[in-house]
Amino acid sequence: MINVYIADDEDMLRTALVALLDLEETITVVGHGSDGQAALDHSPPNEVDVYVLDLEMPGIDGIDTAGTLLARDPGIEIVMITRHARPGILRSALTVGARGFVPKNTPAEKLARVIERVHDGTRYVDSDLAVTALGFDCPLTSRELDVLRLTRQGKSVSEIAGNLHLALGTVRNYLSDAIMKLGAANRHSAAFEAYRYGWI
C-alpha cells in the first residue's frame, strides 16, 4: 500500500482527489492540507511514501515544500501538479528532486498510476509540460540572473553591489533591465519570476 499526502489550496479539487485516490486498491491517503506548511507539519512524517503537491500555494509553494521534505527524508517521493504549465517550472521541480510532474486536469485514475510509477522509482513527466519546458529560452543575461539570485536571497541593492563587486548604478541598471524583460512590477517580482521559470 502506498501512503499519500495531498497538499493543494483548491479545497474542492483536493477533497475530490482524496476521495477518488482512496478508491484505489494500491493507495491510501493518510492526510491532506491546503498549503505547503500543512505538508511539512504532517505527523508522523515517516508514514508518507508519496507527497502530491500543488506547485502554486499560498505561503510555501510546492517547489520549496518539496525541497524541504526531501532534505528531511530523501526516501520519500514527490509528484507535482499544476494548473499553469509555465516554462521553466519543470526544470525547477526536477532540480529539487520531484519525480512526477502532471497538470491538474489529469484524471484521478491516471494520477494514481503516476503515483505508483514514481513510488516504484520511475520518473514521470507529462509530455505537454515537457514540450513547453524545452521550448522556452531565458531572456536574461548572466549578470541579470546574478542580481536576481541575490535579490531572491533577500539582499539589498548595496549588498548585491558589494557581493558582485559592482557599482550601485550598475546593479540598478541590471535590475531595471531584468524587470523590463520579465514585465515585472519590481525587483522582487522579477526575482520570483526568474525562480519560477527555473533560471535561478
Delimit the domains of the chain by residue range.
2-134, 142-196
Average pLDDT, the chain: 90
pTM, to two decimals: 0.70
155-191 pLDDT, tens digit per residue, is: 999 999 999 999 999 999 999 999 998 888 899 999 9
Rounded to an integer, the average pLDDT of 54-82 is: 93
CA distance 117 to 92: 21
- pLDDT given for residue 136 in this prediction: 61
Residue 122: its pLDDT value, please? Answer: 93
pLDDT of residue 128: 73
All residues at 6 or more sequence positions from 133 whose CB lies less than 8 Å from its CB, including other chains: 85, 87, 88, 89, 90, 91
Percentage of the chain exceeding pLDDT 70: 94
Lowest-confidence pick of 110-119, 132-141, 148-157, 171-180: 132-141
Pick the CATH number of 2-134 from 3.40.50.2300, 3.60.150.10, 3.30.420.40, 3.30.70.20: 3.40.50.2300
Return the SS3 of 103.
strand
User: 171, exposed or middle or buried, with CB in 10 Å at 0-12, 13-18, 19+?
Assistant: buried
How far is it, in rounded angstroms, from Cα 100 to Cα 113? 11
- 142-196 CATH: 1.10.10.10
What is the average per-residue pLDDT within 77-99?
82
